[in-house]
Amino acid sequence: MKKVNKICCIGAGYVGGPTMSVIANQCPEITVTVVDINQERIDRWNDEDLDKLPVYEPGLKEIVASNRGKNLFFSTEVDKAIDEAEIIFISVNTPTKTYGKGKGQAADLKYVELCARNIAKVAKTDKIVVEKSTLPVRTASAIKSILQNTGNGVNFEILSNPEFLAEGTAVEDLLEADRVLIGGDETPSGKEAKDILSSIYEHWLPKERILQTNVWSSELSKLVANAFLAQRVSSINAISALCERTDANISEVSRAIGTDSRIGPKFLNASVGFGGSCFQKDILNLVYISRSFGLQEVGDYWEQVIIMNDYQKRRFAEKIVSTLYNTVSGKKIIFYGWAFKKDTNDTRESAAIYVADALLEEKAEIIVYDPKVTEKTIYADLDYLGTRSPEENRKLLKIATNPIEATKDAHAIAILTEWEEFKTYDWSEIYDKMLKPAFVFDGRRLLFKDEMEQKGFQYYKIGQS
């Protein structure tokens, strides 16, 4: 079997950076180069101050510190890295299309195609090209067509190796993966390519956790895995709304059904809704694929998961408005959290963005505190929606650096991210600073209702009357 000496990863984002850092850490004999055309991003990966890495994940900066400059490199020299590598990972962004056919559902593959064409132009030796980005079924065939028809006569083997990382636990997910999925052709050369990639993961994972499939099964499995997880979140959130009307407690319902071995307890925590780069995008992709094959009912079924998630975010914002006497105009509301979940600085599709947007439309004055998300990112998220001008967003929404002092004369606090530090705050001090009655809207079920009410708060917890 061919020995791998050099790996290149195109894309230094939330998947490429952590994945390649772990591979470099576990495979010291392999040189791993992560390339990106974004100079600022690469500069941050190379910054001596490891707190400035563009991706925040527990344990990541320690791994980068141990391997950077030894067998782990971050560079903008894309062509050089492609030319030298035996394996090339494609880990670029695949956002949902905002134009043309499939607008709002299909994946936009322009960056993937650009990568494929660049690989075809540069490569002068045989390469294994690995899809690491989340991609729709049959993307591998498109990549293969580009490489075979525009290349320099070299042989390319295309593999699908989808990521199954949860942000906030990405390093742990890589080191202790439930499974690694590798899809490829069933030809002799395809099987050899799958074995070569498997040998890399076998440096630290048992062989039985590395599953080899055909390429189509691998691509579809990624979408289906995220769809099933998101479905559970939307399902429990639907029941949380029912609990609030019936005096049932969603925590008790979750525990009761989670102890059923056929169901299990994971992803049964009611909340203001799921976010992140994958769940919504992958489900929309699944909806588009289903409908493109004439499976309308299948597409409708999975679209309902998104509809329920949007409903939960909208319901939370409406609860804030109705509780605050049906008007939030000119009222100061504190947002604790902007990232879509704890232990990450990723804000893509974060519930906080959409709750803030709804409240800003009601002319609320919002102050945001998040321990890892920058002011630049928060404003960029709001500006991207295009609901208001950038100037109006900056007038109505401010960023706090001191989460306690920010609550002075506030009407309400909304908890949008389950950061552990929020549990440690002196909530009695916070209560004293706020206008009365002081409201807390817990979108992540982070605090205890009885304790908060004993401190004097008017406290709303999703899934509990």
Strand order in the sheet with 412-415: 397-399, 365-369, 332-336, 412-415, 439-442, 458-461
Q: What is the DSSP letter of 326?
A: T
Which one of 127, 132, 194, 222 is the catalytic residue? 222
Say whether 266 is catalytic.
Answer: no
Q: Return all residues near 11 (Cβ < 8 A) that are at least 6 apart.
A: 34, 36, 89, 90, 91, 92, 93, 132, 133
What HEC string does 45-99 produce? HCCCCHHHCCCCCCCHHHHHHHHECCCEEEECCHHHHHHHCCEEEECCCCCECCC
Cα gap 215→232, rounded to integer Å: 27
Which one of 27, 115, 243, 278 is the catalytic residue? 278
Q: Return all residues near 389 (Cβ < 8 A) that are at least 6 apart.
A: none
Say whether 222 is catalytic.
Answer: yes
Q: Return all residues near 153 (Cβ < 8 A) that are at least 6 apart.
A: none
Which one of 57, 131, 157, 163 is the catalytic residue? 163
Q: List Cβ<8 Å contacts ≥24 apart for 166-170.
A: 167/14, 167/57, 167/276, 167/340, 167/341, 167/343, 167/344, 167/346, 168/57, 168/58, 168/341, 168/342, 168/343, 168/344, 169/57, 169/58, 169/343, 170/14, 170/18, 170/57, 170/60
Tracing tokens 């406290």 back to the chain, one arrives at 459
Count the alpha carbons within 13 Å of 3 in the hemisphere toward its beta carbon: 5
Using CB atoms within 10 Å of the CB of residue 400, give its burial: 0 to 12 exposed, 13 to 18 middle, 19+ buried.
middle
Residues assigned a catalytic role: 163, 222, 278
